[in-house]
Amino acid sequence: MIRWLSILVGGSVGLWAAAAYPLRWLWGDAAVVHAAVAMGLCVLPALAALPWAAWALTRSPEQQLAMVLGATALRMVIVLGGTYALVTWVEAFRRPSFWWSVLGFYLFTLAVEVGLVVRGRTASNRG
């Protein structure tokens, strides 16, 4: 489980570091901060969902479905709710760089999370 969480966080920080220079070049210094905030918004629900997914791998199909639906709802509420709150209340986040960062990190963390869970499921079926 620690390995999954390390891959998720390390990959997200790596993506942020790789995107920082192009974002700064396109939209300025604020875009790097926007990307860091977007990363945090997208990594938090994934960090909560991964232990739940690991637990669900050994449970019934109904519990696995509940985990998938629950993790999706958790991800949507935190990412969309946090993004909405920031865009509504903080003028600095009403820029395209923030929206693009949220979209990029959302898709990245979702892909990593699904990849880890599918890989874990395949490993648990073999073992």
- Please state the domain extents for the chain: 2-126
Helix residue ranges, H only, the chain? 2-27, 29-56, 61-89, 96-126
This prediction's pTM:
0.89
**Position of tokens 């959302």?**
106
Q: What is the mean pLDDT of residues 16-29?
A: 94
Report pLDDT digits (tens) over 52-96: 888 888 889 899 899 889 999 999 999 999 999 999 999 999 999
Q: Round to whole Å and give the CA distance between 57 and 122.
A: 10
Work out the mean pLDDT of the chain and round it to a whole number: 91
pLDDT at 125: 63
Report pLDDT digits (tens) over 97-115: 999 999 999 999 999 998 9
Buried b (16+ CB within 10 A) or exposed e, 65-77: eebbeebeebbee
pLDDT at 117: 86
